[in-house]
């Protein structure tokens, strides 16, 4: 059954490039939100879900989480993945640290193969615009300090 899902902003970073839907399937645009982040900053699951992918694509680390409402959130520009708790098939909780960012974090939301604007799904932010996330939940211990997947420098 499809359940109601409460989403939170997955980073404290500031949106520097908003969602810009492409005019065609392979056309230019931004299929999510690009956040400016301090390298090494944590990012967390935007909602409860199951990790459907955690690993490298094209030389970059990515994490994708499927949610009960049928949406998938994807996180790209990842510096490290909390591999002890974030792996394909792992259940994650809203606010659970998934890993750390590089200098930017790209967050996308999809229903099937259709990209959606994440901003209205995540809701308003405290202070407006690029301020801290609304109602950030408690962080769940992840073992991030023990096991990491890291790209070579």
Looking up residue 100, the CATH number of its domain turns out to be 2.70.70.10
3 or 107, which is more confident: 107
Predicted confidence (pLDDT) per residue in 95-107, tens digit: 999 999 999 999 9
Number of domains in the chain: 1
Can you give the pLDDT at residue 30? 79
pLDDT band at 123 (very low <50, low <70, confident <90, very high): confident
Chain-centroid distance of CA 56 in Å reads: 15
Q: Say if 142 falls within a structural domain.
A: no
Q: Residue 2's pLDDT band (boundaries 50, 70, 90)?
A: low
Could you give the CA distance from residue 110 to residue 91 in angstroms, rounded to a whole number?
19
User: Does residue 71 lie in a domain region?
Assistant: yes
From the list 31, 27, 53, the residue with the least C-alpha distance to 108 is 31
More confident residue, 79 or 143: 79
Domain that holds residue 21: 14-122
The answer to whether residue 146 sits within a structural domain is: no
């Amino acid at each position: 059954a499809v359940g109601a899902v409460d989403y939170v902003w997955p980073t404290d970073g500031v949106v520097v490039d908003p969602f810009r839907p492409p005019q065609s399937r392979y056309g230019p645009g931004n299929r999510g939100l690009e956040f400016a982040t301090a390298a090494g900053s944590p990012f967390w699951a935007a909602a409860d879900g199951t990790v459907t992918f955690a690993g490298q694509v094209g030389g970059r680390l990515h994490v994708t989480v499927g949610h009960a409402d049928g949406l998938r959130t994807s996180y790209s520009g990842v510096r490290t993945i909390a591999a002890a708790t974030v792996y394909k098939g792992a259940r994650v909780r809203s606010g659970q640290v998934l890993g750390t960012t590089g200098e930017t974090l790209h967050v996308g939301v999809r229903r099937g193969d259709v990209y959606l604007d994440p901003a209205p799904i995540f809701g308003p932010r405290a202070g407006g615009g690029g301020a801290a996330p609304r109602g950030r939940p408690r962080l769940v211990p992840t073992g991030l300090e023990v096991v990491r997947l890291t790209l070579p420098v």
